[in-house]
């Protein structure tokens, strides 16, 4: 049973999802959060993890940490992403069970599913085909974490399980970063095109691929919901239950931002995956589903972005 004073360790609390998660926990009155930085807890060092667990004795763990930098970075750093992300999961999970951590939530990635999975993608499609080559190193590490979480949970009969999110967006995203996700990248480009009075914004590809985009507050709600209510060992997809094309997304952001120029798609560049939609029927049967639609989520994200610019963040 997770109480308001339960000691919850959030590994990766200073990242995009982590900052949103800590804020929501505090709003809900959870007052015993452990949020170490990577310097305070080096999850690549087994002994340091062991020492930290012995000293702090967490009741539950939410594992958000990952080495990741977008598709191009995944290609260049494939061996590092495979080894580092695998080590992180192995070190933390093995120390967690050794330290009698009651509950463990591993955050995986939709990259774990095969490149040519039927759509929408169900949890059962894991390991049913070849991975997307460009993110293979990262995806393999996330599969290791997902399966190890499941196997430890099954063997020791403890609620260790995995949540598999789709593409996310929202406050604290990496705006202005060349490796940012599609929403953060589009907000940055269209906003500054408006500010600089540019006649058009150039985007790569045809604009036809569709994306399953989840507002980060919905994902944070999913993490807390399953931490409090789920006691199994499965991996569970967390998505928006809808799709939007890149072109539709760009036009929606153009409206929200108030940009009067044109959106130009440069078809000389590749599109990437044409469609990647997660099936969230399992999550819905377990009592969770997303609440925030794409328009509301984008409006909230852009407002946060504007506030951040105003205070010089």
pTM: 0.95
Rounded CA Rg of the chain? 20
- How far is it, in rounded angstroms, from Cα 227 to Cα 222? 8
Longest CA span, the chain: 61
Below-50 pLDDT ranges, the chain: 313
- How far is it, in rounded angstroms, from Cα 27 to Cα 8? 15
Q: Is 259 marked active-site?
A: no
Contact 16, 216 (CB under 8 A): yes
Per-residue pLDDT tens over the stretch 91-129: 999 999 999 999 999 999 999 999 999 999 999 999 999
Out of 52, 81, 113, 138, the active site residue is: 138
DSSP 8-class letter at 161: E
- How far is it, in rounded angstroms, from Cα 163 to Cα 108? 6
Token pair, residue 54, equals 């012995």
Percent of the chain predicted with pLDDT > 70: 99
**Look-up of token digits 């293979």:** 136
Contacts of 195 (CB under 8 A, 6+ apart): none
- Domains of the chain (ranges plus CATH)? 8-169+213-240+276-291 (3.40.50.720)
Q: Please tell me the predicted confidence (pLDDT) of residue 154.
A: 98
In the chain the first and final C-alpha atoms are separated, in Å, by 38
Q: Please tell me the predicted confidence (pLDDT) of residue 75.
A: 80
The count of other CB atoms within 10 Å of the CB of residue 258 is 10
DSSP 8-class letter at 122: P
């Amino acid at each position: 049973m997770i109480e308001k004073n339960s000691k919850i360790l959030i590994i990766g609390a200073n990242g995009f999802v982590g900052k949103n998660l800590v804020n929501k926990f505090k709003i809900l009155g959870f007052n015993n959060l452990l949020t170490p930085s990577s310097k305070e807890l080096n999850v690549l060092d087994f002994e340091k993890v062991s020492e930290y667990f012995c000293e702090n004795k967490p009741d539950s763990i939410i594992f958000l940490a990952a080495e990741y930098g977008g598709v191009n970075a995944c290609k260049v750093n494939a061996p590092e992403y495979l080894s580092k992300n695998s080590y992180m999961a192995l070190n933390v999970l093995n120390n967690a069970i050794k330290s009698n951590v009651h509950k463990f939530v591993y955050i995986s990635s939709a990259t774990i599913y095969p490149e040519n999975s039927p759509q929408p993608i169900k949890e059962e499609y894991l390991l049913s085909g070849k991975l997307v080559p460009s993110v293979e190193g990262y995806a393999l590490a996330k599969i290791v974490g997902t399966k190890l979480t499941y196997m430890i949970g099954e063997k020791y009969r403890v609620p260790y399980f995995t949540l598999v999110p789709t593409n996310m967006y929202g406050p604290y995203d990496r705006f202005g970063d060349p490796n940012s996700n599609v929403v953060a990248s589009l907000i940055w480009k269209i906003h500054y095109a408006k500010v600089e009075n540019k006649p058009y914004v150039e985007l790569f590809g045809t604009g036809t691929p569709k994306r399953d985009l989840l507002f980060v507050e919905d994902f944070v709600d999913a993490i807390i919901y399953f931490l409090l209510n789920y006691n199994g060992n499965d991996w569970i997809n967390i998505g928006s239950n809808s799709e939007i094309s890149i072109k539709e997304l760009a036009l929606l952001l153009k409206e929200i931002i108030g940009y009067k120029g044109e959106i130009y798609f440069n078809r000389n560049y590749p599109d990437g995956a044409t469609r990647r939609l997660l099936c969230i029927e399992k999550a819905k049967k377990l009592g969770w589903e997303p609440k925030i639609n794409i328009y509301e989520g984008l409006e909230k994200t852009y407002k946060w972005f504007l506030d951040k610019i105003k205070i010089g963040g």
